[in-house]
Structure 1
Amino acid sequence: MEINRDSISKFDEGNMFAILADFHNQVEIGIDAGQSIEKRSYDFDNIVICGIGGSAISGDILRSYLEQVGYKKQIFVNREYTLPNWVNEKTLIVASSYSGNTEETLQAYNEAIKITKNIICFTTGGELESLAISNGHQIVKMQSGMMPRCALAMSFFSILTAFLHLDIVSKNMSEDIELAIKDTYYNLKKSSNRHKELSNNEAIKLALLLNGKKTVLYTGKVMAPIAMRWAGQLHENSKVHAFFNVIPEMNHNEINSWDYKENNKDFRIILLKDITENPRVQKRIKVFSELLQDKANVYGFSSDAEYLLTRMFELIYFGDWVSYYLALMRGVDPTPIPTITKLKELMSGE
């Protein structure tokens, strides 16, 4: 299906186009939210970010980013009802639920209050806000009105800014991070103009290549959360199958599944690359691509921006637009997630 203003009007009933076009402004909204938190000292040895789906992926990106810029304390993203058994009174718990009603996060929060006083909640409201108020825990209140996956930038930058504001991330790292945040904002603003223009649009071109195919994403450790984000957006926005794996691990098993060209016609491989990946991983990505040259359709993407944070969000934003345009090509409204909604209804009926 051709992408034009008519197809956008017909299928995009939730107006995700406008949310995507305004994605860069979430950076500033997130900064304002993160800076609103009252100064308080936390004595902690490690961080556990509790969340699911769109509220968890910001934690994955934060963990990868901070690790690369030199943050020394362990950050663990918990997507379970229960906490890891090593959590103790010296663990900082970040409860992230955009709606405030995510059952897995609420259960993990209720376990956390029995273990540690170091708890910060990031939400738009709901039960998590009510619990945090009654228990005296700090709350970063985010702007409501979006699907959680659409609020990624706001969620990420509210947590990162709160970490800077509370000196959870040390002051000697803050100057470079603040420069990276500013650069990310301007990069996203510039990218918005490019992605929402329907002529000669790279996101539309890639969506055309993915249409009717299954997408498999490969990358290294640094960009693994970005590959996860791409897969999730293809699942929720486009309603298509998408998978991801990490190099070098997949070079020791999954690579063999691409041996026979006749098995690969229904797949498209996307490689997400970055200069901060281990040099051997970078070489593995290159060699892997060469090995598959005559066996499968492989497409590689990277960013040449100065800052890692900018490069991460440039690729995230590109993938979001790809998933959006692919949904329209398939005649699908990218906003609703009917099967997830139905699952929640059935679960609540127990």
Structure 2
Amino acid sequence: MDARDFFGYKSSDEEPGRRPGEAGDVAEDLSPPQLEEAITLDDPAVISRIDPGGMLDRVLEIPRQLAVARRVAAAVELTPRHRDVDQVLVLAMGGSAIGAELVAGAAGDRLSVPLVVHRGYELPSWANPRTLVIAASHSGETVETLTAVRGARARDLPLAVISTGGELGRTAQERGEPYLRYQAQIQPRAAVGFGFGLVHELLVSAGLIERPDPFGPAIEGLDHLFERVGPGVATDANPAKQLAWAIFGRVPIIYGAGPMTAVARRWKTQFNENAKAWAAYEPMPEANHNAIEGALNPRELSDALYVIELHDAQEPKEIADRYRVVEELLGERATNRSHVRSEGDSTLARVLWTVAFGDVVSVYLAILYQTDPTPVTLLAMLKERLARATD
């Protein structure tokens, strides 16, 4: 079977980069897609045809997810063991892990203990009885997370679970562990409002975030953002659609510093999973110690890249100066560039605003590539083959 059959495209004619009239068994033209191959973002019928699973609608549900997450977390009781801790360890993968990383970015300066997100099978050796372990898996069946959770239970560590169910949720219920259960039959990455909100409110309940930012103003900010970038706003007045057009046919490289570091990673993974496109992210100021030297070669591909800088409204002068000097040094090597400046009165609000903006851009880019953003068929194939290999 041809590999393209697994990508979720409507037909071979709609595969990104394919030229009209090409036969399926003819060698493919691998040159970048051209502007004339894209389609309009201003026709609701086109968006509905390419996005039948409603990924764009899921993005617009982030405010509702945050509100529900707050109620779910408020109903969970924690024991003194969950509160009197020296560090927090979050066991998660993929879309279930990014919520905790975003919380660390949004509340990092007010977290009373370190927060570490662990993506892997084995429980870190340093985890001890004074480590609050949070296991997050949207499906409750993530094998890496389940394996690490068994290690946490074997060491009798304080554990809380975030999931929609599955083995993780079932065992948490049976053992009487704090279980933050939410209902969402959607892709894990589309549940970012739950992932962020549940981890944040769990830490607030445990007394581990000092002076937490309120959700209310952040939700209002998201509602205002969606009024500006929603599908009903024409491209000429829609910054998300404009940025998707600018990225189309290029590989986005996203830069972020401080609270925007985790957001940059979120942008990268959303371009991967929604637009089925290559992307990379670079944390600042670390990128100034290595990535800047990679801007030279291969010279012929310089126009194939698109740099996106995510700026926090409260960005330190040292970081702003670094961005400015880098632009001066790179000159013509990185002319394809956009600046995204977060909006909101709190760090939490600005992180969520920038996440939501990037999520919308990623879906619009998928539409331009005529690619259904919802299926992740290669990921599903990978899991299936790994399962067969371990049987």
Equivalent residue of 1:82, what SS?
coil
| Aligned-partner Cα distance in 2 for 1:308–1:290 | 29
1:312 corresponds to which letter in structure 2?
Answer: V
> Per the alignment, in what secondary structure is the counterpart of residue 2 of structure 1?
coil
Gaps of 5+ in 2: 1-38
1:114 is matched with 154
- Bigger mean CA offset, 237-246 vs 186-195: 186-195
Q: Does 1:141 align with 2:181?
A: yes
Letter in 1 for 2:218: T
Q: Distance in 2 between matches of 1:61 and 1:327?
A: 24
Aligned twin of 1:168: 208
Q: How many residue pairs were aligned?
A: 343
Tell me which residue corresponds to 1:343: 382
- Partner secondary structure for residue 303 of structure 2: coil
Q: Structure 1: where are the runs of 5+ without partners? A: none
Pairing 1:255–2:307 present: no
> Relative to structure 1, is the Cα distance of residues 253 and 168 closer, same or farther in structure 2, using a 3 angstrom cutoff?
closer
**Which stretch shifts more, 150-159 or 278-287?**
278-287
Q: How does 1:62-77 map to 2 (within 5 A)?
A: 62-68=103-109, 70-77=110-117
Amino acid at match of 1:246: P
Larger radius of gyration: 2
Secondary structure of 1:49's counterpart equals strand
Percent identical: 29
Q: CA deviation at 1:89?
A: 1.0
User: TM-score by structure 2 length?
Assistant: 0.84
Decide which moves more: 131-140 or 73-82.
131-140
Instruction: Report deviation, 1:163.
Output: 2.1
**Matches of 1:344 and 1:304 in 2, distance apart?**
38
Q: How much does 1:293 deviate? A: 3.8
> Which amino acid in 2 is paired with 1:284?
R
- 1:262 is displaced (CA, Å) by 3.9
> What TM-score comes out, normalization by structure 1 length?
0.94
Letter in 1 for 2:378: T
Contact 1:292 / 1:298 at 8 angstroms: preserved in 2? no
**How far off is 1:39 after superposition?**
4.3
Task: Letter of the 1:186 partner, please give it.
Answer: E
Helix, strand or coil at the partner of 1:94? strand
Query: Which is further off, 37-46 or 335-344?
Result: 37-46
CA distance in 2, matches of 1:168, 1:295: 45
CA contact (8 A) 1:99 1:123 kept: yes
Moved over 3 A (4+): 259-263, 275-278
Cα distance in 1 for partners of 2:196, 2:285 equals 27
What does residue range 161-310 of structure 1 map to in structure 2 within 5 Å? Answer: 161-170=201-210, 173-174=211-212, 177-178=213-214, 181-196=215-230, 197-199=232-234, 200-259=237-296, 262-296=300-334, 297-310=336-349
Deviations 1:125-164 (A, max 9, x none): 0000112123221100012211110000112111211222
- Per the TM alignment, residue 276 of structure 1 is displaced from its structure 2 partner at its CA by 4.0
Q: Distance in 1 between matches of 2:322 and 2:194?
A: 34
Q: Is the 8 A contact 2:313 2:342 kept in 1?
A: no
CA apart distance, 1:109: 0.4
Equivalent residue number for residue 144 of structure 2? 104
Give 1:339 deviation, angstroms: 0.2
What is the distance in 2 between the residues matched to 1:67 and 1:168?
Answer: 11
2:50–2:370 Cα contact (<8 Å) kept: yes
Deviation of the 1:202 alpha carbon: 1.0
2:87, 2:132 within 8 Å by CA — same for their partners in 1? yes
Query: Following the alignment from structure 1 to structure 2, what is the Cα–Cα distance between the partners of residues 158 and 27?
Result: 8
Find out whether 1:312 has 2:346 as its counterpart: no
**What is the Cα deviation at residue 222 of structure 1?**
2.4
> What are the within-5 Å matches in structure 2 for residues 5-20 of structure 1?
5-20=44-59
Q: Confirm or deny: 8 A CA contact 2:161 2:169 kept in the other structure.
A: yes
Q: How large is the Cα RMSD of the aligned pairs?
A: 1.5
